[in-house]
Amino acid sequence: MGLIEVNGIRVRAFHGCLEEEALIGGDYIVDVHVSGDLQDAERTDDLSRTVDYGHVTAIVKEQMAQRSRLIEHVAARILARLRAEWSGELHWRVRIVKLRPPIQGDVEQAVYTIEG
């Protein structure tokens, strides 16, 4: 069983329920973890036998560029795209961190994590 982690994908996006968020945007950090049987990649040294973290990053950026009101919705879209791209017995975890959300109080981040 192997684990690939692509951590700290930084993007500027325009998610949120407030109109200002659609105009100003905000900063986000996305982490993607995938676990499963990666022994073919270990044996063959062949990129096509594993999850390409460059492509993972491209999918995250693509989905983060599509505005949503909720980060839960964005996370579900990212997860669906990843699962469609790499079929098989892989377990995914997507974590979206919204930095300095515009809410009452001094809040550093709001985080949503989805697995599947």
Which of these, 47, 61, 78, 56, lies nearest to 6 by C-alpha position? Answer: 56
Judge whether 109 and 30 are in contact, CB under 8 Å: no
pLDDT at 114: 98
Q: Please write the tens of the pLDDT for every residue from 26-38.
A: 999 999 999 999 9
Active site residue 98: yes
Q: Which CATH number fits domain 2-115: 3.30.1130.10, 3.30.70.520, 3.30.390.30, 3.40.50.2300?
A: 3.30.1130.10
Give Cβ neighbours of residue 101 (< 8 Å, ≥ 6 apart).
16, 26, 107, 109, 110
Is-above-0.85 flag for pTM?
yes
Instruction: Tokens for 37, please give them.
Output: 């049987």
Judge whether 74 and 63 are in contact, CB under 8 Å: yes
Between 44-48, 68-72, 78-82, 86-90, the lowest mean confidence (pLDDT) is in: 86-90
Residue 104 has pLDDT above 90, yes or no: no
From the list 98, 100, 109, 114, the catalytic residue is 98
Domain layout of the chain by residue ranges: 2-115
